[in-house]
Amino acid sequence: MHIENLKIFSDLVESESFSRAAKMNGITQSAVSQQLKAMEKHFNALIVDRSQKRFRLTREGTKLYASGKDILHRYEKLCSELLEMKKIISGTVHISTIYSIGLHELPPYMKMFMQAYPSVNVRVEYRRSNLVYEDILHNSVDLGLVAFPSKMRQLEVIPFHVDRLVLICNPDHPLSRKKEVRIEELAGQKFVTFDPDIPTRKAIDQIFREAKVEIDLIMEFDNVETVKRAVEIDAGIAILPENTVKQEVKQGLINAIALKGNKFSRPLAIIHRKGRVLTPAMRKFIANLTGKKSEYKSSAASAGK
C-alpha cells in the first residue's frame, strides 16, 4: 500500500465517480478500478458495494476511508511542515473561480503573486458558482473564489473584497444622463440579468422584492460578459459589479450609474474545505488576496498548535 493508493481511494469516495477520481489524479478510469481491486485484495475485503446502482461503501470501505483520511491528513501536514522548515514556497495552487472574479478581480492579485513566488504554478478554472462549491467539497481543487458566499459546515470562508454594484445602460438610454438613481426609478424598465441560480442574481432579486419594485425581465445569462454585450446593444439595462464594467465604461460602450442606498455591494470570498491541510503556497496565496502580511492559518492548522 502507498499514500497514492489512499489518495485515489479518498478522491473516489468523495466524488462518487470513477471518471472524476481519474481526472483528479491524472490517470485512466480503468486505473482507478484496478487500484480499487488491488486494495480489496490487499485487505481481503469488499470495499465498494457493487450491488447498488449508486456508489456506496461497505462497512469495511467506510472504515478504510475514515482511517485513510486520517493518514492522508497526517502525511499532508508533515509535507507542509517540512516545506515550512526549509522555507520553500513552491508547488501548485489549483483554483476554481466564478467568471466575474477570475476575469476581473483576480488578474492583479495573480500578477503580484507570480512575481513574488515564481516557483508556484497557479492553475485557474472558470466555473459556475454551484460547480465551484462542488469542486471544493469533492476536493477537486485547493481554493474556490465566489461571490455572496454560502455558509456550509464543511467550508472555511475567508472574505477578501467587497465590490460595489452599479446600474449599467447603453449611452443612448434615458437613464445614462443620471449620476445616481434610486431603485424605485427602475420600475418597469427592461432588464438583462443572470440566471436565477446565480448568487448575484438572487441578491439583486432580493433588493427589488424589499423595495417592492417590479421590472421587465427580458434576458437571462450565465455569465457577466454576455450580460454586458446585451446592454451594449441596448437590449436592456443591468446591475453588475463595478469592477467588471470598467473597461467598457472607459471605451464608451456603456455607462455606469451609482445606485442610491447602502445595499448595493457584493462580498467576495475564498473558500476551502474544512480540515484541508494548506501548503505554504496556498497560505501565501490567501494572504496575497486578503492583503494581510502574515500568512493565513486555517482552523485545522491552528487547532494542531
Q: What is the pLDDT of residues 116-129, one digit of tens each?
A: 999 888 999 999 99
Residues 172 and 128 occupy one common structural domain = no
**Looking at 84, 117, 139, which one is the last position of a domain?**
84
- Phi and psi torsions of 104, nearest 5°: -120, -25
Domain boundary among 65, 84, 103: 84
The pLDDT assigned to 296 comes to: 57
Using alpha carbons, list the distances in angstroms from residue 284 to 94, 98, 256, 275, 297: 13, 21, 35, 18, 10
Full domain range(s) for residue 196: 163-266
CATH number for the domain harbouring residue 131: 3.40.190.10
Whether 303 shows a pLDDT value over 50: the answer reads no
Identify whether residues 174 and 257 lie together within a single domain: yes
Residues 152 and 195 grouped into a single domain: no
CATH of the domain at 183: 3.40.190.290
113, 285 Cβ separation under 8 angstroms = yes
- Clarify whether residues 65 and 40 are in a common domain: yes
* Domain shared by 169 and 185, yes or no: yes
CATH of the domain at 35: 1.10.10.10
Mean pLDDT value of segment 69-93: 78
Per-residue pLDDT at 192: 96
Q: 167 and 180 share a domain?
A: yes
Last residue of a domain, one of 84, 101, 116: 84
Residue 1: the pLDDT is 61
User: Are residue 173 and residue 261 in the same domain, yes or no?
Assistant: yes
Regarding whether 167 and 152 lie in a shared domain, the answer is: no
Q: What is the DSSP string of 44-109?
A: TS--B-TTSSS--B-HHHHHHHHHHHHHHHHHHHHHHHHHHHHT---EEEEEEE-HHIIIIIHHHH
pTM for the full predicted model: 0.75
Mean pLDDT of 84-97: 82
**170 and 251: one domain?**
yes
| Number of domains making up the chain | 3
